[in-house]
Structure 1
């Protein structure tokens, strides 16, 4: 486990990269005389329509073909074929994304977008902001994959659109939306380690002109799990989980110009972990108790053919608790948004007023802890301009956020794309972003109220190709961070153990190559990331991030079956900032197959980690090994 395997070295060497690029170039040349079509500007998990609408890039619906930003889309078909239990596991198969987890599903999970930490990615569920004012960033183990219908991933800073936190990117998750006739479904699944899943739901639209749409879903999953630790004194029991979740969505088309939408999602996760202390004579079953709830109310109005508005009120609550070790933290986020969009020919103008209210409650549960109960707010004005005509695409955004604690912060971005041919486009962008210190970093016993926001300056260049079922993209980027907040030595805080401080600088830079091509009846796809996430003070590699990681896959139709194979590979990483604890490289092979047994029944079978590779995402924490899963879904056609 101390050195990357030879398989990883071969999978991630530059020669296969060059071979893949040359192969794509040859394929593109072979298609040069085919009918031309709009350029696909994103590498996606599964090839969607070029006219798919995307909202994440600018917060306004745009066709995928019009975007300059680096965006991926994951649809429900891809999620179901993945056989995954966690959202992070699905995202880890996309370009530019890595994950780390302390054991199995339900335990602390980190997600790195282009090398940026979890707290540097803004996360939304149905437009509702999800964050923790304790740890910083979304708690990925809380988000129920069973309720997610679609995922949009924007790589690169977007603070000029979304405000604080969007330094590495933005991830939007959407629940199912009703349309057409009533569509019920029921799914069951069984897998290794005593895994059981059950889900059911219904969606559709009723009334005159189907004005009222609805969607409801419920899911429960549990697993006996595996021993989460690989070494050291710990409880050797199996660390499983139980998860229950549900969502409801209701929309009403008042008339041709006005639409109301309401969304609700709730999730509970009870998972086992191994604490730092263990007494064989009296072993303790350590448990995580996580809760997530999001709610949103939206009013969309099309006042004229050119002018539209959207008003949103959102609320999110996250809670994390451990037993029998006493700890609990609760974060509440309330959001208000008034978005205005005006289109004049090839020009698009936008203006938004937004308010965000954060509240953190860490109650004292024993004699050694103290209560933290604090709030803050941020008010913002955001302006945007877009132009798309004659092969030129321009996107300009500026935003000013006024924080009740540290004052004002301005951000901006400029992006330009030029269509070299109908198939090829070059892009360039620059942007600034920031992350406000969490309430815990400011006001806990380790906090410093005068902490400054973490800031970043990003620049990137891209080259993209799309023709038929083939696509290729190359993106090179550099994102430099200042005022990075780390836990440091003794300082002005109440604790003598240490304080938070703006003491670090970091840089995320790299090259992402992604491609998809249909050849010999097979859809081939993959991506390679060559990156250098490092501490600028000492040049050390940032913890738990590889300099090279890749995913490759192939899907084919054969005798009524959909057959697929995936390769996930990662180079060597380090578990600590000093780069002394090595996490070895690994390569995993996954296989899956699905078929329609009858008109209304679909069977899915999956094997993950076919070679039963022993590897670590975090030092001394186990990973599941080879696993099997079989699922059956009933959905009337």
Structure 2
């Protein structure tokens, strides 16, 4: 397959004022039509209900109606109807999120939450922390979407709850949990570019008292892919991928007050890329080899109606390797948590002790020095207080982390919400956060042991409306970051090429508008982000982030079919910190349809990038073009 050349196309710039007015008008037209629903928006996902519980906001299950935080929920039905093959592609359709990728699925992927760098988002899978002490942040290309049942996205700093890394927010991923009778499923799918997918699993409950819940899932996908580069000297082959993943989840209700849960996830990704040392006379097939394992053991106890505890031991391993070019890095992370929650009327109190242990295994460090410390630990105490009565909601959190390398760091947050009417709520919050330097940034050839943590101060205001199947939200925020770590010029490290240094300040500032409204048998939804992510030291726009990006969609039922259309649009971005290389704006149209073709069979079809637009998420790297996917799933009712 020949790579499509980049065409010099420019899309009309987003007109923020007009889009904002249309979004708001669509909501206002429905204010008096239907009964009240909770004041929380899960944009581009299933509309939440009063029964929905959210874990991410305070690390304790709470109903949506109790939350002040800015949270989105994506369930399995939404994931399946999206037809997306990558987790980042699902996230990119939510408010406040952009992505960048060096080519196709399986290649280096970044997720920017409210404009913040990928390493500034704390990521959990079934409560297990996932991170890299080499690049910093989760390696998104390793996480298998096929095993994910539910996604919760918390926008805004949350270090006072989660500790290091949660500067932009937190993303929690959950695998399937057993409920009800045994529910087996088998799915197959085919797409262009030689894409094939097979998945199977079973979940349910067992035992005389249904004390045992279980879930098991396996999936394999492969694709011939496309040439990942658009220009320059490179191997003109297809850069496809092969992915195999699985999860297991087991819960046992010991009695009415005690429960044990165990989770396990494993994923392997083998994907092609084009290296920088291509030799036309002897081309090689460059490969990324990624491995991810997570495991968790949890004990939840409700000692009284007011007091409950949770003890967790978690472990994750994230490994990245390239071949034939020899490079390998692996991060092992062990976590211990003792969470205590106490409720007294309208008051909620929480206290947690947490320990995190990181270890980096990187042969490059061995080549540099065999005496370097490649491990570190953080011990923390976190306290929380919540209050809800009448139209008032208050949430206060404070946390102190003691790092084995740089010492103590305190963070705090305060959030308040007021229900102006049963439909309208106003919110305000402030918070501080930090990210500790990675072991690679401190101890590699380019590292500086005296690097300080990156720190941030955030403030935001929100206004939300919800009634029936209509909702609207507006959130304005400003997050200022100090001690930003960048790769700079020669300094105190051993390399003459350059060193890591605390040399910059950044600001993530913006407005997010989101709405959903049911009209004429169609559920309309959309969001628009108007932001200004910039380097305060140079005044330049931060790389690979647009000042405007939006998603709009519509879903309906017709003659037994569920039909949907979606528009994704982004303004221009820069690929370099100096703002010298422009990535043009783009607009994509995606379509999806599904129907039950027999009692236990569901057919899904999806077309992404209907217009076959040529665009870039990273300079000189290609994107898939028009893609078609058709899948069939068997799941007995």
Same fold (TM over 0.5): yes
> How many equivalent pairs are there?
633
Give the 3 Å change call, closer, same or farther, for CA 347–44 of structure 1 in structure 2.
farther
Deviation at 1:226, TM superposition (A): 0.2
Deviation at 1:14, TM superposition (A): 6.9
Give the 3 Å change call, closer, same or farther, for CA 368–429 of structure 1 in structure 2.
closer
Deviation at 1:496, TM superposition (A): 1.3
Whole-Å Cα distance in 2 between the matches of residues 12 and 565 of structure 1? 20
Q: Deviations over 1:332-367 (max 9, x none)?
A: 000000000000111100000000000001014997
Deviation at 1:596, TM superposition (A): 0.1
Deviation at 1:629, TM superposition (A): 0.3
Whole-Å Cα distance in 1 between the matches of residues 503 and 235 of structure 2? 37
Deviation at 1:409, TM superposition (A): 0.1
Q: Deviations over 1:105-128 (max 9, x none)?
A: 000000100000110000000000
- Give 3-state SS (helix, strand or coil) of 1:372's partner: coil
C-alpha contact 2:375 2:439 (8 A) present in aligned 1: yes
- Give 3-state SS (helix, strand or coil) of 2:179's partner: coil
Deviation at 1:250, TM superposition (A): 0.2
Whole-Å Cα distance in 1 between the matches of residues 248 and 454 of structure 2? 36
Give the 3 Å change call, closer, same or farther, for CA 198–372 of structure 1 in structure 2.
farther
Give the 3 Å change call, closer, same or farther, for CA 47–35 of structure 1 in structure 2.
closer
Whole-Å Cα distance in 2 between the matches of residues 603 and 24 of structure 1? 35
C-alpha contact 2:524 2:555 (8 A) present in aligned 1: yes
Whole-Å Cα distance in 2 between the matches of residues 297 and 367 of structure 1? 36
Give the 3 Å change call, closer, same or farther, for CA 69–539 of structure 1 in structure 2.
same
Whole-Å Cα distance in 2 between the matches of residues 368 and 509 of structure 1? 40
C-alpha contact 2:26 2:517 (8 A) present in aligned 1: no
C-alpha contact 2:40 2:71 (8 A) present in aligned 1: no
Give the 3 Å change call, closer, same or farther, for CA 252–367 of structure 1 in structure 2.
closer
C-alpha contact 1:109 1:140 (8 A) present in aligned 2: yes
Deviation at 1:225, TM superposition (A): 0.3
Give the 3 Å change call, closer, same or farther, for CA 20–547 of structure 1 in structure 2.
closer
Whole-Å Cα distance in 2 between the matches of residues 238 and 159 of structure 1? 42
Q: Deviations over 1:415-466 (max 9, x none)?
A: 0000000000000000000000000001011111110000000000000000
C-alpha contact 1:220 1:245 (8 A) present in aligned 2: yes
Whole-Å Cα distance in 2 between the matches of residues 233 and 198 of structure 1? 35
Q: Deviations over 1:33-77 (max 9, x none)?
A: 644444335545221223200000000001112111000000001
Aligned to 1:475: 475
Aligned to 1:281: 281
C-alpha contact 2:446 2:500 (8 A) present in aligned 1: yes
Give the 3 Å change call, closer, same or farther, for CA 117–27 of structure 1 in structure 2.
closer
Give the 3 Å change call, closer, same or farther, for CA 44–624 of structure 1 in structure 2.
closer
C-alpha contact 1:42 1:64 (8 A) present in aligned 2: no
- Give 3-state SS (helix, strand or coil) of 1:160's partner: helix
C-alpha contact 1:364 1:371 (8 A) present in aligned 2: no
Deviation at 1:631, TM superposition (A): 0.2
- Give 3-state SS (helix, strand or coil) of 2:486's partner: strand
- Give 3-state SS (helix, strand or coil) of 1:178's partner: coil
Whole-Å Cα distance in 2 between the matches of residues 94 and 223 of structure 1? 26
Deviation at 1:279, TM superposition (A): 1.3
Whole-Å Cα distance in 1 between the matches of residues 178 and 76 of structure 2? 14
Whole-Å Cα distance in 1 between the matches of residues 393 and 514 of structure 2? 22
Whole-Å Cα distance in 2 between the matches of residues 556 and 250 of structure 1? 36
Q: Deviations over 1:81-100 (max 9, x none)?
A: 11111100100000000000
Q: Deviations over 1:138-164 (max 9, x none)?
A: 000000000000000000000000000
Q: Would you say 1:3 and 2:16 are equivalent positions?
A: no
Q: Would you say 1:213 and 2:210 are equivalent positions?
A: no
- Give 3-state SS (helix, strand or coil) of 2:209's partner: helix
- Give 3-state SS (helix, strand or coil) of 1:437's partner: coil
Listed as ranges, the gaps of 5+ residues in structure 2 are none
C-alpha contact 2:41 2:48 (8 A) present in aligned 1: no
RMSD: 2.2
Q: Deviations over 1:484-537 (max 9, x none)?
A: 000111111111111111000000000000000000000000000000000001
- Give 3-state SS (helix, strand or coil) of 1:367's partner: helix
C-alpha contact 2:183 2:635 (8 A) present in aligned 1: yes
Give the 3 Å change call, closer, same or farther, for CA 23–11 of structure 1 in structure 2.
farther
Whole-Å Cα distance in 2 between the matches of residues 425 and 364 of structure 1? 53
Bigger drift between 35-44 and 275-284 goes to: 35-44
Whole-Å Cα distance in 1 between the matches of residues 523 and 10 of structure 2? 22
Whole-Å Cα distance in 2 between the matches of residues 245 and 55 of structure 1? 25
Aligned to 1:268: 268
C-alpha contact 1:363 1:371 (8 A) present in aligned 2: no
Give the 3 Å change call, closer, same or farther, for CA 277–23 of structure 1 in structure 2.
closer
1:408-419 maps to which residues of 2 (within 5 A)? Answer: 408-419=408-419
Whole-Å Cα distance in 2 between the matches of residues 351 and 155 of structure 1? 23
1:181-200 maps to which residues of 2 (within 5 A)? Answer: 181-200=181-200
Give the 3 Å change call, closer, same or farther, for CA 99–532 of structure 1 in structure 2.
same
- Give 3-state SS (helix, strand or coil) of 2:141's partner: helix
Q: Deviations over 1:383-410 (max 9, x none)?
A: 0000111100000000000000000000
Q: TM-score, normalised by structure 1?
A: 0.96
- Give 3-state SS (helix, strand or coil) of 1:366's partner: helix
Whole-Å Cα distance in 1 between the matches of residues 550 and 23 of structure 2? 17
Whole-Å Cα distance in 2 between the matches of residues 438 and 366 of structure 1? 16
Aligned to 1:30: 30
Give the 3 Å change call, closer, same or farther, for CA 404–366 of structure 1 in structure 2.
closer
- Give 3-state SS (helix, strand or coil) of 2:368's partner: coil
Q: TM-score, normalised by structure 2?
A: 0.96
Give the 3 Å change call, closer, same or farther, for CA 367–55 of structure 1 in structure 2.
closer
Bigger drift between 591-600 and 24-33 goes to: 24-33
Give the 3 Å change call, closer, same or farther, for CA 41–415 of structure 1 in structure 2.
farther
Give the 3 Å change call, closer, same or farther, for CA 10–287 of structure 1 in structure 2.
closer
Give the 3 Å change call, closer, same or farther, for CA 552–11 of structure 1 in structure 2.
farther
Deviation at 1:17, TM superposition (A): 4.4
C-alpha contact 2:378 2:402 (8 A) present in aligned 1: yes
Give the 3 Å change call, closer, same or farther, for CA 588–278 of structure 1 in structure 2.
same
Give the 3 Å change call, closer, same or farther, for CA 373–623 of structure 1 in structure 2.
farther
Q: Deviations over 1:309-343 (max 9, x none)?
A: 00000000011000000000010000000000000
Whole-Å Cα distance in 2 between the matches of residues 68 and 12 of structure 1? 36
C-alpha contact 2:561 2:594 (8 A) present in aligned 1: yes
C-alpha contact 1:43 1:71 (8 A) present in aligned 2: no
C-alpha contact 2:44 2:525 (8 A) present in aligned 1: no
